[in-house]
Amino acid sequence: VVSYIVKRDAGTSDAALAALGGRLPRSSSGGANFQVVHIGPDPSCVIPDLAPNTMYRFSVQYRSRRATSPGSAELQIMTPPGPPTQPVAVHTGAREVTIKWYAGAGGAAFKYIVYFQHVASRLGDAKAVAASSSSAAAASTLRDWNKCYEGSETVCRITDMLEPDSMYNVKVVAMNRQYESGEPSLPTQVCTVRRQDEVACTRATVDDVFKIDCTGDVVTGDTILFTERVYAMVSAA
């Protein structure tokens, strides 16, 4: 009858690793500070009760009825950080959004990655929003999230690929020093605002760009003012 003995140390938090320059403290000879977490005949096990965003060292011994082998070489595994808090929008513009979040369980993560997802366009048009929302619900499993930020700060300003008068989902993922990601935060919906001079004039948006003030109550003597914008296509040649 043989069995395996799995041991681990008490763990080193990310804050302690940062103070040590990312290096683990030197362990005592023979793994005297390791504790037994599993004994069994199978060459695999599940080790519960680990803290998030913490580096652990593991060692395995082989035991028979007559003797116990020396400990194996150490395996260093870092648990992923807990999900960050749900981000909030602290500022929104026509083509940019600034969001803020806080670290989750395990403290500040080594890095954060922010993703955004387009939900709807032309929020002022109820029909366009309904059509965009229905198509978004049908293709929600097929649409990819776009990465827009990666860094250690807990605030970011998104300026790429955003359109005015649109709705987006935003979520944050925390990453540890071994580049393992935890669960994402709860998504937040943010809406960009619209400025009249930032709306592209097309056949679909002409009613949003140009407003007709005359409502049919024209009488003799009224002055009628017509205004227009002229666009010209410039060829590459």
Sheet of 166-175: strand order equals 146-151, 111-121, 166-175, 188-191
Backbone angles phi, psi at 145, to 5 degrees: -85, 140
Residue 182, helix vs strand vs coil? coil
- Contacts (Cβ under 8 Å, ≥6 apart) of 107: 13, 14, 15, 53, 81
pLDDT band at 180 (very low <50, low <70, confident <90, very high): very high
Backbone Cα Rg of the chain: 29
pLDDT at 179: 92
Q: pLDDT for 4-47, tens place per residue?
A: 999 998 888 888 888 888 777 776 545 568 899 999 999 899 99
Residue 119, helix vs strand vs coil? strand
Q: pLDDT for 42-69, tens place per residue?
A: 989 999 999 999 999 999 999 988 898 8
- Please give the model's pTM, rounded to 2 decimal places: 0.70
Residue 17, helix vs strand vs coil? helix
Percent with pLDDT over 70 in the chain: 80
Tokens of 178: 């071994």
